[in-house]
């Protein structure tokens, strides 16, 4: 039976709203007050790409222009907390970097007030679930969580890994790995009092909802991920919404994309472009300044030079918000 397009759209809307509704549950909504000056993001290539961080900063600045917060991206592509790597990772050019090697330098340089940390996608090494690899991941996450608490006074928010879309990346066993890793993190929220923002299962539900209406959703250019692992613009906005919602910005759930979310701001598009420019400069400068062992990365400008550029861009942004 052929279903009319408008009925498909209504059904899709209902399914997506159902998929997103549980984001409001177990949210430890605690807004960013005036004591918050630096928000640090740790993670792998998804974090390094940084679109969701740019979206978060743009949304937060346009909605809270009087609050001065640095959103600092120190994601590193290929990184794990498990210390594991494939025997022939990157065609044998280098092993996966391990966060253990650089975390203390990052914390010493940044001195964050809040840390969002998202690991797991690489830690399963894109192989079937294995108890030994799982234990390495658990050990790494416990180390990370405890180190962040002991070495800083920061609020620590662990983020579950995003999804692996097996219609794009044909490794049908890997969603089980990520489900297990994510479930364990959510258990720590209950048993150990961790703050855990769940991206994984809402994103999984979002994909499933779309595919009940359109099985070829991944082919239409609006799927969450273009290669099954790295989210596209839609996927990054989804992550941004989850994290913004987690810190109390509940209105964000009403917006389909960052441009819609800042449409009220006369110069919103220009502000987004400037924040994108700033984030792209600062992430490489921070990585170079704090140091890492991953080859084939952009060399950032010296941190002082980057800071000077950041100040100029911030001043332009403040001028635009006044218009």
For residue 130, the domain's CATH number is 3.40.50.1110
Q: Given a cut of 80, is residue 9 above it in pLDDT? A: no
Per-residue confidence (pLDDT) for residue 29, from 0 to 100: 55
Share of the chain above pLDDT 90, in %: 81
> Comparing C-alpha atoms, which of 282, 300, 281 is closest to residue 291?
300
Per-residue confidence (pLDDT) for residue 276, from 0 to 100: 98
Q: Are 190 and 198 in contact (CB under 8 A)?
A: no
Per-residue confidence (pLDDT) for residue 191, from 0 to 100: 96
pTM: 0.92
Q: Given a cut of 90, is residue 143 above it in pLDDT? A: yes
Query: Which single residue is written with the structure tokens 């089980």?
Result: 176
Per-residue confidence (pLDDT) for residue 214, from 0 to 100: 81
Q: Given a cut of 90, is residue 274 above it in pLDDT? A: yes
Phi and psi, residue 130, nearest 5°: -145, 135
Domain hosting 271: range is 5-322
Mean pLDDT of the chain: 91
Q: Given a cut of 70, is residue 28 above it in pLDDT? A: no
Confidence of residue 311 (pLDDT cuts 50, 70, 90): very high
Confidence of residue 322 (pLDDT cuts 50, 70, 90): confident
Q: Given a cut of 80, is residue 151 above it in pLDDT? A: yes
Angle among Cα 162, 168, 174 to the nearest 5 degrees reads 55
Say how many domains are in the chain. Answer: 1
Share of the chain above pLDDT 70, in %: 89
Confidence of residue 254 (pLDDT cuts 50, 70, 90): very high
Per-residue confidence (pLDDT) for residue 255, from 0 to 100: 97
State the CB neighbour count (10 A cutoff) for residue 2: 5
Query: Residue range 34-59: average pLDDT?
Result: 97
Q: Given a cut of 90, is residue 178 above it in pLDDT? A: yes
Per-residue confidence (pLDDT) for residue 20, from 0 to 100: 56
Confidence of residue 323 (pLDDT cuts 50, 70, 90): confident
Exposure of 174 in the CB half-sphere (CA atoms within 13 A): 22
Q: Are 37 and 68 in contact (CB under 8 A)?
A: yes
Reported as a single tens digit per residue, the pLDDT across 104-124 is 999 999 999 999 999 999 999
Confidence of residue 7 (pLDDT cuts 50, 70, 90): very low
Per-residue confidence (pLDDT) for residue 139, from 0 to 100: 98
Reported as a single tens digit per residue, the pLDDT across 188-234 is 999 999 999 999 999 999 989 988 888 777 544 567 788 999 999 99
Query: Residue range 128-134: average pLDDT?
Result: 98
Query: Residue range 224-253: average pLDDT?
Result: 93
């Amino acid at each position: 039976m052929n279903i009319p397009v408008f009925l498909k759209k209504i059904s899709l809307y209902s399914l997506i709203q159902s998929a997103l509704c549980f984001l409001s549950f177990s949210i430890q909504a605690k807004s960013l007050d005036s004591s918050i000056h630096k928000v640090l993001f740790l993670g792998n290539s998804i974090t390094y790409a940084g679109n969701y961080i740019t979206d978060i900063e743009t949304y937060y600045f346009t909605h809270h222009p009087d609050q001065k917060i640095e959103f600092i991206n120190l994601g590193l592509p290929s990184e794990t907390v498990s210390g594991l790597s494939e025997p022939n990772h990157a065609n044998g050019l280098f092993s996966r970097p391990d966060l253990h090697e650089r975390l203390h330098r990052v914390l010493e340089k940044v001195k964050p007030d809040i840390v969002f940390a998202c690991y797991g996608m690489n830690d399963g090494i894109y192989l079937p679930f294995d108890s030994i690899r799982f234990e390495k991941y658990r050990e790494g996450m416990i180390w990370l969580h405890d180190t962040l608490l002991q070495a800083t006074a920061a609020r620590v928010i662990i983020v579950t890994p995003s999804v692996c879309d097996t219609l794009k990346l044909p490794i049908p066993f890997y969603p089980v790995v990520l489900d297990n890793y994510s479930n364990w993190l959510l258990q720590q929220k209950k048993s150990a009092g961790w703050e855990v923002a769940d991206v994984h299962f809402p994103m999984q539900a979002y994909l499933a909802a779309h595919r009940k209406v359109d099985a070829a959703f991944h082919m239409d250019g609006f799927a969450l991920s273009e290669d099954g692992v790295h989210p596209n613009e839609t996927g990054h906005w989804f992550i941004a919404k989850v994290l913004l919602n987690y810190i109390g910005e509940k209105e964000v759930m009403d917006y389909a994309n960052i441009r819609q979310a800042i449409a009220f701001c006369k110069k919103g598009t220009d502000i987004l472009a400037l924040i994108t420019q700033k984030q792209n400069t600062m992430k490489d400068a921070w990585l170079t300044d704090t140091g890492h062992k991953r080859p084939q990365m952009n060399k950032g400008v010296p941190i002082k030079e980057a800071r000077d550029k950041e100040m100029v861009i911030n001043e332009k942004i403040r001028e635009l918000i006044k218009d």
